[in-house]
């Protein structure tokens, strides 16, 4: 299957490192013009340079904006213009006993993990619908379908992201635009440890580029009949036939 995203413009939120950077790299490798994002210009520029080293012909723009607020989303919109592919990758996580998560932290998780995606979808989906093509992908996690006791707040927000996806997919019905979430499993990264149990059917961490590969496919015209769903790249970690 040849996938060529030449002529498509993509944004990956929270892509100055980790899975977001890998997704942006794979989109660039497939020909898309890519906007990378993080909170600081310096680190975001560094991510853009990393992509250019990996994919010399890549068209990459670095846009710093803190997407935890509407002001940040507005700032981004002023610099980025319209998009064909929106990847809501930004997400925070971290272990905390559930009784110690206070209201402020619950709100912060909702702002960063859910509202950041909702705002960008509201901003870019109508233009995609008017033009008759677009791809919206939100990076969820296994925690969306199996709430982890050590980070209930993360799980709750990722579950919400699946419903956000389903809702906006309905809003885009019949327009040529697809809206999906991607259920990633435990993934290799600077902070990741080796897999701590045997849930994974591939018996190893997922590589960030493997998530990028699924995003590339879902971003293409080849995936035109896939919408409103949660597509897994979890190494079989989720012990369920359906997500």
Ligand X SMILES: NC(=O)c1ccc[n+]([C@@H]2O[C@H](COP(=O)([O-])OP(=O)(O)OC[C@H]3O[C@@H](n4cnc5c(N)ncnc54)[C@H](OP(=O)(O)O)[C@@H]3O)[C@@H](O)[C@H]2O)c1
Residues that bind ligand X (CB under 6 A): 14-20, 37-40, 43, 66-68, 89-91, 93, 112, 139, 141, 184, 186-187, 189, 192
- Give 134 or 155: the residue with its C-beta nearer to ligand X: 155
For residue 205, the minimal CB distance to ligand X (Å) is: 7
- Give 189 or 228: the residue with its C-beta nearer to ligand X: 189
- Give 43 or 96: the residue with its C-beta nearer to ligand X: 43
- The full 3-state SS of the chain, as one line of letters, equals CCCCCCCCEEEECCCCCHHHHHHHHHHHHCCCEEEEEECCHHHHHHHHHHHHHHCCCCCEEEEECCCCCHHHHHHHHHHHCCCCEEEECCCCCCCCCHHHCCHHHHHHHHHHHHHHHHHHHHHHHHHHHHHCCEEEEEEEEHHHCCCCHHHHHHHHHHHHHHHHHHHHHHHCCCCCEEEEEEEECCECCCCCCCCCCCCCCCCCCECHHHHHHHHHHHHCHHHCCCCCCEEEECCCCCCCCCC
For residue 151, the minimal CB distance to ligand X (Å) is: 10
- Give 18 or 31: the residue with its C-beta nearer to ligand X: 18
- Give 186 or 229: the residue with its C-beta nearer to ligand X: 186
For residue 60, the minimal CB distance to ligand X (Å) is: 14
For residue 27, the minimal CB distance to ligand X (Å) is: 15
For residue 82, the minimal CB distance to ligand X (Å) is: 20
Cβ-closest residue to ligand X? 91
């Amino acid at each position: 299957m040849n996938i060529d995203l030449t002529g498509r413009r993509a944004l990956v939120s929270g892509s100055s490192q980790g899975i977001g950077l890998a997704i942006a790299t794979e989109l660039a490798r497939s020909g898309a013009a890519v906007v990378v994002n993080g909170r600081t210009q310096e680190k975001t520029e560094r991510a853009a340079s990393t992509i250019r080293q990996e994919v010399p012909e890549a068209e990459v723009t670095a846009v710093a904006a803190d997407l935890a607020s509407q002001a940040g989303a507005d700032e981004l919109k002023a610099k980025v213009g319209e998009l064909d592919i929106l990847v809501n990758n930004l997400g925070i996580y971290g272990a905390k006993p559930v009784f110690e998560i206070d209201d402020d932290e619950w709100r912060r998780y909702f702002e960063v993990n859910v509202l950041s995606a909702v705002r960008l979808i509201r901003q870019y989906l109508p233009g995609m619908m008017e033009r008759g093509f677009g791809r919206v992908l939100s990076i969820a996690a296994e925690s969306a379908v199996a709430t982890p006791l050590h980070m209930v707040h993360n799980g709750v927000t990722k579950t919400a992201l699946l419903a956000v996806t389903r809702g906006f997919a309905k809003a885009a019905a019949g327009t040529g635009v697809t809206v999906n979430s991607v259920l990633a499993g435990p993934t290799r990264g600077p902070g990741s440890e080796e897999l701590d149990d045997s849930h994974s059917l591939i018996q190893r961490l997922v590589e960030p580029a493997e998530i990028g590969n699924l995003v590339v496919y879902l971003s293409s015209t080849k995936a035109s009949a896939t919408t409103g769903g949660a597509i897994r790249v979890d190494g079989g970690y989720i012990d369920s036939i359906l997500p």
